Structure 1
Amino acid sequence: MVLKYYFDLMSQPCRAVYIFLKVANIPFEPCTVALRKGEHRTEEFKQKLNKFQLVPFIHDGDFKLSESVAIFRYLTREYPVKDNWYPKDSKQQARIDEYLEYQHLNIRGHCTLYFRQKWLEPTITGKQPDPKKLKILEGNVVNALDKFQEFFLADTPFINSQTVSFADILAACEIEQPRMAGFEPRDGRPRLKEWIERVRTECNPYYDEAHVVLYKRVEKAKQSAQARL
């Protein structure tokens, strides 16, 4: 029975797992979940598909699993995956784990909160965010990105490594997200800019495939900004 993958490509971790499944050549049945329509909020969804009512998640036969990092680690154990994605060497694997644990309250936490306040909630509610609060949130994003570049990209082309790993995919997907809110994370960060392009190159055509909707919204945001000038 083929693995079923439930996802919405508007979600950063969903994009990361999607790209990994593709580049690792793991067969799967794509099962899209339209978060914008609230498909994940029904009681039927909770009872039959995922008790947490979140994406991404997988059904591998009778086994069900949520959380992108847990899914990734499971896949590397159950499927023939190239060593660079999650090295068997203990110290190299620990470097990948270091970022996977770090990112929740740092890159993911700050980029997601800014995106939600600046773009997602105004889009849903029609209410504009508090400028003072938004300035604080943007400052948190700036600080998180600067530290990411300093801590993880100082001496190596990928996250504390010479080769691309799942940590790079996950980080890149998170860092792409604020672009939809008009914030460009690459500006003033040459190492981060070069790193994102390396990750994209290593993972294409699937990186671009997973980001099609995001790219369109980023372009729309740029056009709207130019029209206001």
Structure 2
Amino acid sequence: MALEMYLDLFSQPCRSVYIFAKKNNISFDFMKVSLLEGEQYGEEFGKINMIRKAPAIRDGDFCLAESIAILKYLAEKYQTSDHWYPADLQKRARVNEYLSWQHMGIRMHGSKMFWLRLLIPKIMGVEVPKDKMDGALEDLEGSLKLIEEKFIGDKPFIAGEQISLADLVAIVEIMQPVGSGLDVFEGRLKLSAWRDRVQAEIGKELFDEAHQGILASQEMVKNMDSSKMQHGESPSGAGVIPIHDLAKFLRSPSSNSSVFFKGLCEQKVA
């Protein structure tokens, strides 16, 4: 039985798994799960992952969820090149350090900008208040600064001289707000140079293939029927948010926005 991967490439974690498998010539059947259409709630997907998150894989009788667990499983099962998940204790620790930080360190803030710039205006028909937008941008910029100064530093890649799972997981998250029209690389020479190195290691064709959907998000959202989005069904893979919760968010103090988006990011992607 072929390895099955249940993916939606609008989701950052799904893109990391897809790119890793393709780059390492891991044969798999692509099982598309449209998070926008709510297919993660279907009976068949529930048999693969009862948590209702994407990505998920089925390898024979073995099912696995959570992108980080999947990436490590694939790296070890298929004995991919050591640089992806190094055997060296300290290099592996650097990879694990980033993987442990990234979920709330960058994903929440990148996803937040995607929602604020594209989805909430479409769903609610109103622009997000400037104070909330400014606060979200400040949070994102803080995370990007940490990636540049702490995680990349003076090295070509996060774990050292070669690309690793940490770089792969980082780039897909950083590309998410780019899909909303925000050029996060502008004025960030170190981050831009790192992106170019990561893209070169992955291969431009594969990189572009994996990101073509998210980079076309502005046009896609513009053409969406907002009446079908009244539960906040999101092409970013961010989950399902009731309309009254979005209204409450828009009325709430800016200090509460991180709590709202923490819940958002903990929903239907892994």
TM-score, scaled to structure 2: 0.77
In the alignment, which residue of structure 1 is the partner of 2:23?
Answer: 23
Unaligned 5+ runs, structure 2 = 222-270
Structure 2 Cα separation of the partners of residues 211 and 103 of structure 1: 19
Q: Deviations over 1:100-132 (max 9, x none)?
A: 001111111211122122223333443432322
Q: 2-side partners of 1:201 and 1:219: how far apart?
A: 27
SS at match of 1:5: strand
- Decide whether the 8 Å contact of 1:6 with 1:30 is kept in 2: yes
Q: Which runs of 5+ in 1 are unaligned?
A: 222-229
**CA displacement at 1:32 relative to structure 2:** 0.5
CA distance in 2, matches of 1:27, 1:80: 14
Are the aligned partners of 2:179 and 2:214 in contact in 1 as well (CA < 8 Å)? yes
| Matched ranges for 1:26-175 at <5 A | 26-42=26-42, 44-45=43-44, 47-175=46-174
The CA distance in 2 between the partners of 1:25 and 1:76, in whole Å, is: 12
**Which range moved further: 119-128 or 82-91?**
119-128
Shift of 1:216: 2.9
Within 5 A, what are the aligned runs for 1:7-18? 7-18=7-18
Deviation at 1:219, TM superposition (A): 8.2
> 3-state DSSP class of the match of 2:29?
strand
Distance 1:54 1:122 in 2: 25
- CA change 1:160–1:83 in 2 (3 A) is closer
Normalising to structure 1: TM-score of the pair? 0.90
Q: Aligned with 1:116: secondary structure?
A: helix
Distance 1:149 1:83 in 2: 24
Q: Distance in 2 between matches of 1:112 and 1:128?
A: 17
CA contact (8 A) 2:40 2:46 kept: no
* RMSD of aligned residue pairs (Cα, Å): 1.8
User: What amino acid is aligned across from residue 13 of structure 1 in structure 2?
Assistant: P
Deviation at 1:220, TM superposition (A): 8.5
Tell me the percent identity.
Answer: 40
Higher relative contact order (CA 8 A, sep 6+): 2
**2:232 paired residue number:** none
Aligned pair count reads 220
1:119 and 1:180 in contact (8 A); partners too = no
Letter in 1 for 2:21: L
Structure 2 counterpart of 1:203: 202
